[in-house]
Amino acid sequence: MTDENKEKESLNAVTDAWSKNWLVPVLLLMLRQWSSYGYELMEKMAAFGLSTMNAGTFYRTLRQMEKDGMVSSRWDTS
């Protein structure tokens, strides 16, 4: 692995850790005033610098937040 690749990998790890730490507070802040669906929330995350969030991590976090009673969800087929 080249030094450049190591540097990119290290930066990605720091960005991912930062993103995970801020994901729950940012989601709660966004959902405080309006309800939304997952894809729209992911798009709005970019305003908080979380545009590189992994979709799997994002949806697992939402599901855990629901289990913890922080948010609720419903299926909409429209």
Asked whether residue 65 carries a pLDDT value surpassing 90, the answer given is yes
Q: Tens digits of per-residue pLDDT, 28-56? A: 988 988 888 888 888 888 887 777 778 88
Q: Rounded to whole angstroms, how far apart are CA atoms 55 and 12? A: 15
The 3-class SS string of 19-61 reads HHHHHHHHHHHHHCCCCCCHHHHHHHHHHHCCCCCCHHHHHHH
Q: What is the pLDDT of residue 42?
A: 87
Q: What is the pTM of this model?
A: 0.67
Q: What is the pLDDT of residue 14?
A: 45
